Structure 1
């Protein structure tokens, strides 16, 4: 199962959201702290200004009434609050800040709780207590309008960042898809060169590489197809002349050689063919049964072929591709393997599998890497008549062109095993309807 966090976009999204959340949280905490300190400083400045204004008023115009909520209280009055040592931390800091702004030996007290907040100040030169109102020192609430604005800004920032991350990873995703198609041997259209400079350079290099590989492959295919095509006419004339020979032993030998050469030429043409298979999609299980039945009837001396077909009707492949895959693998098993040969299909959670195995000696471990290379014969004993070293190379090319993957190896020392896997998404479209009905 694919994990969203395992993709580039998922990791970019997680990183962006985490960074934005951390920065917004830090900004909010700093703003709350700064607002609390600013409120305290403003209250201290206001209280200090009022106390100085009252002193100047008393010194200059003692007969004039004081402003409302400002009063002078006799030190002997019972209304004078007692010096408290258990004030809340904000009030204690406020009183200390006011005391620092006043002359030395100034007494600073805070009015009793439950009443409008007042500040009581008396310096050594003051005859009475000066009582002035102060701003309430409220602790910032946990949820206020700032949180709403913070959430709104954070949401828009996340959406913009996710869009930027998507736009940044999209060219890379297109390039990854093109690389996957190129690895399976499928046609690869030019990838748009978008994104940052490094990504554009990478995409440009990939497009050039695909063009050079396609040009080289096309030149090789044209050369190979031309040579093979030109050989067909002389081989047909040679076979016709061989049929007219009087010596039966010589005639049969020449005919066998001509047939071997004709088979090699046909393999050349098949390997050189690089077009898409436009044949009708057929059920793999039914087609395998028909091909095996025909192979048993036609191939004289062929080993026993058994079938284990369990994929169901939803496993579909182009008919020509499937016939070529099976014929090459059965011919290979006939030439180099030992009975019984097994053709098996199965359905897995990821897709379907097609397996062809025999019980011969298999291929040496050091030779497995070269088994599917074109024109490579692993040892002289595997030469035989009519074999060009293209059988497994053709099978690999056909499987990859159909969107599948293949795995070649020996199974427990009991012969060669070729396992082909086809994911659901690469199967012909008609397979979807069949699968839903299955």
Structure 2
């Protein structure tokens, strides 16, 4: 199952949202803290200013009335609050800051709780307590408009960042798809050069590599096809002349050699072919049964081929490609393995599988890596039996061209097994049925 965070866009989106969320939260917390500190400093300044103003008013104009919320209280009055005890830490810091701004020996007390907040101040030279109003230091606050502004800015920033991440991800996605097609041996059109400079350089280098590889592959295919095609005519003449020989033993030997050479030439032509298979998609289980039945009828010693077909009707592949895969694997198992040969299909949680294995001696572990390399025969003594060393290489190329994966190895001590895995959507269900075979069968 694909996880969104595994993609480049998912990781960029997660990174962007996390960074913006942390930065906005930190900014909001600092702003709230700074505003509370500013409020406390302003309250201290205001209280100090009011107390000093009252002192000057009493000294200069004792007969003039004071403002309504400012008053002078006799020290013997029962309204004078007691010493500050059990004051919250925030209010204690406020009282200490006010006392630091006053002359030495000044008493600073807070008014009775439950009433409008007041500050009581009396220095050694004051005859009365000076009572002035103060602002509430830490009033309860609900979410204010700042939070909504932060949400709006955060949402806009996330959308802009996600759009930028999407713009960066698109060229990389196109390049990744092109690389996947190139790895499967499919034609790769030039990838548009978009995005940052480094990404454009990477795309340009990939396009140049694809062009050079395609040119090399085309030259190689033309050379192989030309050589194979040119050999067909003399082979046909050799066979005709062999049929005219009088001695049966010599004639049969020459005919077998010509047939082996013709088979090798056909393998060259198939390996050099680089076109897409346009044959009709067929159900793999049904086609495997048909191919095995035909193989038993025409191949000597082939009745030992068995089937275990459990993939179901959803597993479909192009007919020509499937025939070529099965014929090469059956020929290889019949030539080098031991009966019974088994053709097996299955449906797994990840997709479909097609496997062909025999019950021979298998391949040595150190030779498995070379088993599917072109023109490699692990047993040189078998060079004259019509095998060119292309069978497994052709199968691997066909499987990867369909987007599948293959694994070759010895199967539980029962000989060589070739296991091919395909996704559920290896062929879209709406694939048009074109009966023309790209292999010219």
- Structure 1 length normalisation: TM-score? 0.94
Instruction: Please give the secondary structure, in 2, of the residue aligned with 1:85.
Output: coil
Q: Distance in 2 between matches of 1:382 and 1:290?
A: 29
Aligned to 1:157: 157
Aligned to 1:87: 87
Aligned to 1:106: 106
Aligned to 2:200: 200
Residue 261 (structure 1) shift? 1.1
Change (3 A) 1:112 1:46: same
Q: Distance in 2 between matches of 1:348 and 1:430?
A: 23
> Counterparts in 2 of 1:275-424, with a 5 A limit?
275-302=275-302, 304-424=304-424
Residue 294 (structure 1) shift? 0.8
> Counterparts in 2 of 1:207-218, with a 5 A limit?
207-218=207-218
- Structure 2 length normalisation: TM-score? 0.93
> Counterparts in 2 of 1:221-240, with a 5 A limit?
221-240=221-240
Q: Distance in 2 between matches of 1:401 and 1:90?
A: 74
CA contact (8 A) 1:13 1:162 kept: yes
Residue 73 (structure 1) shift? 1.6
Aligned to 1:17: 17
Instruction: Please give the secondary structure, in 2, of the residue aligned with 1:108.
Output: strand
Q: Is there any run of 5+ residues in structure 1 with no aligned partner, and where?
A: 433-438
Q: Distance in 1 between matches of 2:243 and 2:233?
A: 16
Aligned to 1:42: 42
Count of residues in Structure 1 that have an aligned counterpart in Structure 2: 432
Residue 238 (structure 1) shift? 1.9
Aligned to 2:177: 177
Q: Distance in 1 between matches of 2:68 and 2:407?
A: 95
Residue 59 (structure 1) shift? 1.8
CA RMSD of aligned residues (A): 1.8
CA contact (8 A) 1:303 1:338 kept: no
Residue 325 (structure 1) shift? 0.6
Residue 387 (structure 1) shift? 1.1
CA contact (8 A) 1:325 1:398 kept: yes
1:366-410 CA distance string (max 9 Å, x none): 111111111111121332421111111111111111111111111
Residue 303 (structure 1) shift? 5.5
Instruction: Please give the secondary structure, in 2, of the residue aligned with 1:426.
Output: coil
Aligned to 1:148: 148
* Stretch deviating more after TM superposition (167-176 or 50-59): 167-176
Residue 228 (structure 1) shift? 0.7
Q: Distance in 2 between matches of 1:295 and 1:303?
A: 8
